[in-house]
Amino acid sequence: MGAATPGASRGDVGSAPGSGAAPGAWVDVPAESDRRDLSRSGAAGGVGEPRSEREAGYLGPVAPGRPDAKRPLPSTHVDGAVDGPPCPRCGVPNPPGRRFCRRCGEPLYDQAVASSGRRRKRRWRGDRSRWLRRSAAAAVAVALAVTLWVFHPELLALWEDLRDRLATPAPVAPTSVTANAAVPDHPATAAADGLSNRYWGAPAVGDAVEFGFAAPFRLLSVVVHTGASAEKDGFAAQARPSALDMVVTTADGTTRTVPITLADQPGPQRTDTGIGNVVRVRLVVRSATGLGEGRHIALGEVEFFRRP
């Protein structure tokens, strides 16, 4: 018995008319689908003979496919935040005090000892820098204190001079005016009465007039008017002082002499002083212009200005 061709179904035992098969033999009968394919191909090609099964491309029955199981995707393990020394091998941070790496098992004891040594070294460096800063600050403070102590008078004088320049001078009137000598009708008080046609008459060079004040004050400037009158015609009627010595006495009894040079002209002539704690001022005539027989020295007016 011959083998059946794939894709054909077995028929009944017997012979088909015109098949040429022996009676009682199995006859291969094409399946319905194959017959349709053969008839289609015959109709298309105009040939009544069926094609072979190999030419029809028939592969035979195929078992249904099974779906492939999906492979599980690798999951990433997210570690919690760990604040500790990293492993020298894999770099994973480990909790403090752990002796072996929690990932690769590398010993961590040597690294912990080294990190503690570094912390101690950093702590010493921090303490040293803090000590250096404190020492530098103390040295600067000591140097500043020494500078202030050594240069205190000069610094104080600079400060007072700055205040004098920024202040607005205020007039101050003396409470007493005396002189060692005076010509008749021209007393010492006439030098501080505020009138321009009255003056203190000094008999000779070397005479002095002194002004006293009720309370100590800082004397900023002195304004002197010379001559017998503020008018130009009466100015040269008597001799005029050309140089004075201003002796200033402070509250502690110390004195300071300020020389004053005067021009031979009518009008105010100012001299800046800047002396503190002034209680008395004495003006001594050192030289005069126009002095002669029967003439005396005329000091018209003296004004004092203090710092408010």
- 170-306 homologous superfamily: Galactose-binding domain-like (2.60.120.260)
Cα separations (Å) of 58 from 12, 37, 61?
A: 24, 10, 9
CB 7 within 8 A of CB 31: yes
Close Cβ partners of 65 (under 8 Å, ≥ 6 residues apart)? none
DSSP 93: B
The pLDDT, as a whole number, for residue 307 is: 95
- Residue whose structure tokens are 């100590």: 216
Domain boundary assignment for the chain: 83-150, 170-306
CA 94 to chain centre: 41
pLDDT tens digits for range 111-159? 445 555 555 555 555 566 788 888 899 999 999 898 888 887 887 888 8
CB 291 within 8 A of CB 155: no
Tell me if 247 sits within 8 A of 284, measured CB to CB.
yes
Give me the pLDDT at residue 278, please. 97
pLDDT confidence of residue 62: 67
The single-letter code of the amino acid at 275 is: I
Confidence of residue 266 (pLDDT cuts 50, 70, 90): very high
Q: What is the mean pLDDT of the chain?
A: 79
Convert the pLDDT of each residue in 241-259 to its tens digit.
999 999 999 999 999 999 9
Residues 75-88 have a mean pLDDT of: 70
In the 8-state DSSP scheme, what is residue 190? Answer: G
> What b/e sequence results for 191-229 when a residue is b if at least 16 CB atoms lie within 10 Å of its CB, and e otherwise?
bbeeeeebbbbbeebebbbbbebeeebbbbbbbbbbbbb
Element (DSSP H or E) covering residue 39: helix 32-45
Give start and end residues of each alpha helix (H) in 151-245: 152-166, 232-235
Which of 216, 236, 107 has the alpha carbon at shortest distance from 172? 216
User: What is the pTM (predicted TM-score) of this model?
Assistant: 0.54
Q: How many residues does the chain have?
A: 308
Nearest to 280 by CA among 243, 242, 254: 254
Tell me what pLDDT residue 77 has.
Answer: 54
At residue 92 the predicted structure's pLDDT band, cuts being 50, 70 and 90, is confident
DSSP single-letter state for residue 86: B
